[in-house]
Amino acid sequence: MNRRNGARRILRTLGRLAEELADSDDRAFRAGCPMSHYRRSNVTGATFFFTVAMHRRQPILTDEPFRRALRDAVREVREDMPFAIDAWVLLPDHLHCIWTLPSNDADFGRRWGCIKRLVTRAVAADYEQADWRTPSRITRRESTIWQRRFWEHQIRDDSDYASHMDYVHINPVKHGLVHTVADWPHSTFHRLVHAGMYPPDWAGSDSMLPDYGFDE
């Protein structure tokens, strides 16, 4: 298996695992099952790929009030707990992003917790679903906006970084939301084109999807 095919297989697996994790979160709570505990990376100064989903896959993330609340929350959290945003894409019911943390810091979980709380506070009046409040969520004082967990993957090397950058930006095409990457407004793709990291027509048609392993 050559290196390119290996990268495709990794991307297929990452996408499938991220979506399965998001779906399993809801299934487990509806069934009254406790979620298993798992260890998160604590490497300082590392770069991470994240997938964060909405509770029950509500298609609300690209709504203008929600986007504004998320943008404000990220800005506020970065003032107190800095991190670099390498890539970001918003889809209607989930997001993918890549962050790089400061050299003396590994606490991405606290950052995500703060971002979620700030967004929830800003949009709860319009997006909170009272009839979705399970006993578990009531006990934990959790909203019905975000899924409880998120997926993270620590970037290993330059090749892994490039593969995940591509995965983030091609996602709107993968999900059939647009025909070309440049058509989707809710990502860092346009910023990176301006910076010279991508050509404007990168991954510009559906015919390119099999090359990235997104045809399943």
Top pLDDT among 109 and 148 is at 109
pLDDT for 171? 96
d(C-alpha 116, C-alpha 148), whole Å = 10
pLDDT for 131? 59
Domains of the chain: 3-169 (3.30.70.1290)
pLDDT at 132 over 70: no
pLDDT in tens, 133-174: 555 554 555 566 888 788 999 999 999 999 999 999 999 999
Of 172, 174, 173, 154, the C-alpha closest to 164 is: 154
d(C-alpha 138, C-alpha 53), whole Å = 20
Of 15, 9, 58, 7, the C-alpha closest to 151 is: 15
Task: Return phi, psi of residue 99, to 5°.
Answer: -120, 150
The alpha carbon of 54 is separated from its chain's Cα centroid by a whole number of angstroms, namely 10
Instruction: Write b or e for each residue in 47-64: b if 16 or more Cβ atoms lie within 10 A of its Cβ, otherwise e.
Output: bbbbbbbbbbebebbbbe
Tokens 């400061």, located at residue: 102
Strands laid side by side in the 151-154 sheet: 84-90, 94-100, 47-53, 151-154
pTM score > 0.75 for this model?
Answer: no
pLDDT for 48? 96
d(C-alpha 144, C-alpha 204), whole Å = 36
